[in-house]
Structure 1
């Protein structure tokens, strides 16, 4: 699955027994039996959903570690780095789908990005299902597994409809929870800021650049971030740059100079100082530690 220093990217066609390049649906216990090497750090070229119904241990997404427990669902977008460390028997459901799986079905190509759990922030992508949602969501996954096993011409559309139902039910719950804490307009502004950072963090490094794109003042943006995220707007941008630096150090066999150039730093020494200041170790040390 790759050499040392180069953490592999897994494609659906490498995982799917039926060699379907757009969708894979499976019970998690049987998926683990076939793909047991996936406990090693890797990333996917597809969306990855994992609902645990049984098991314990830990799951690491983009260098943040979460305890595994029943009735917990993980949402991952392409490119995120993750690894598992399970204890005992684990089961649930896994659904992998390509970035194009919904494109022919929905007019809005960015529709999935509107869900908070698909924003690429690890802490938003792990959700403990409340009691009232547990059985309805499990029933939906059972239906998805059932349709995937049939040779029906409409099975993929049925799976798309059921997956959208899963997303909407969970988003309704998470939005209601966040909505009570963050007024609607501010919530939308913050979400848009995070999406803009994700798109432009290499070229735009200053909060004022994003404030301009959002038609608000830098002070307003900063106050919003501090109040609702607990960090400044500058830290949001910086954290995104650091996350990409970590991903590149772990995932690609690039030199530190190449990484610094790709991340738009003036020179290698400035990138090394920046990384050490906020991570506490140099890029080289981080790379060695992650092997």
Structure 2
């Protein structure tokens, strides 16, 4: 039986930690043979993460897609996404990890658009390219300096919180320039409602009409919303969501493809295999072997 990929939980090395940690890419690369999982192999994160590359060039895996990274590249991941690094000798940078609870505490001090833009993988690429004239690096260096300074503990949590808010706001500004400018609107709100319903009912229905009815709109209207927000039809979005959910479950559990088929709402396992192969060109077992 194939093993599952590791599910990495938040375990800070710092005492009295409040849900946020900073490590360097170099230190993680050195630890790869000392920890119980290899960061260069696919693993699922149970926290949120921002990776800022300051030197070198390589690749990073996010939800089964390899992205090229270089100096001034930022990768952001949400809880539940699949990640892997490719370490090179010249690679340097910082990794900020924070729990879902920490993010929730920060929500009140962050603009709503910012949360949507940085932590909604269906809406935006995980990559931000930081311009050379940006001072984001200075704030991340300052954050790391504060974190690694073990002699100063007074009011440290508030300092972390303030720097975290500044960094997020800086990243949001960069993100809005590098993607279409997404503002709160009736269409966006309805799309987010659709996404929320899909997360709840995906095992019950893969039919766009089902979700349109629950949203009290027509199938045509839901399609228009999806095309405007993510440039996909409602059905295409549903299929992408189901396939990604299947991939994550395949590589991060010992579930058999037959059991997975039923859990995803397929009446026959053979239908799931055909569906998965149609969208990935692999059978579920082939895909699992490839990533473990």
Normalised by the length of structure 1, the TM-score is 0.84
Paired residues for 1:263-282 under 5 Å: 263-282=264-283
Paired residues for 1:16-27 under 5 Å: 16-18=12-14, 20=17, 22-27=19-24
Paired residue for 2:25? Answer: 28
What is the CA distance between 1:246 and its match in structure 2?
Answer: 0.9
SS at match of 1:51: strand
Structure 1: distance between partners of 2:107 and 2:290: 43
Paired residues for 1:144-159 under 5 Å: 144-150=143-149, 151-159=152-160
What is the CA distance between 1:161 and its match in structure 2?
Answer: 1.9
SS at match of 1:93: strand
Paired residues for 1:172-187 under 5 Å: 172-180=173-181, 185-187=186-188
SS at match of 1:120: coil
SS at match of 2:60: strand
What is the CA distance between 1:65 and its match in structure 2?
Answer: 1.2
8 Å contact from structure 1 (residues 56, 88) kept in 2: no
Structure 2: distance between partners of 1:81 and 1:247: 7
Q: Deviations over 1:153-212 (max 9, x none)?
A: 421222122112222222233235544588955455445544543454333422233334
Structure 1: distance between partners of 2:73 and 2:188: 24
Distance 1:181 1:105, change over 3 A: closer
What is the CA distance between 1:238 and its match in structure 2?
Answer: 0.8
Paired residues for 1:72-91 under 5 Å: 72-91=73-92
Structure 2: distance between partners of 1:12 and 1:176: 32
CA RMSD of superposed structures (Å):
3.0
Paired residue for 2:139? Answer: 140
Structure 1: distance between partners of 2:104 and 2:128: 25
Structure 2: distance between partners of 1:57 and 1:214: 43
Show structure 1 runs of 5+ residues with no match: none
Question: In the alignment, does 2:6 pair up with 1:5?
Answer: no
Q: Which has the higher contact order (CA 8 A, sep 6+)?
A: 2
Paired residues for 1:90-101 under 5 Å: 90-101=91-102
More helix by share: 1
Distance 1:117 1:199, change over 3 A: farther
8 Å contact from structure 1 (residues 55, 87) kept in 2: yes
8 Å contact from structure 1 (residues 208, 218) kept in 2: yes
Show structure 2 runs of 5+ residues with no match: none
Question: In the alignment, does 2:113 pair up with 1:116?
Answer: no
Q: Aligned pairs, how many?
A: 285
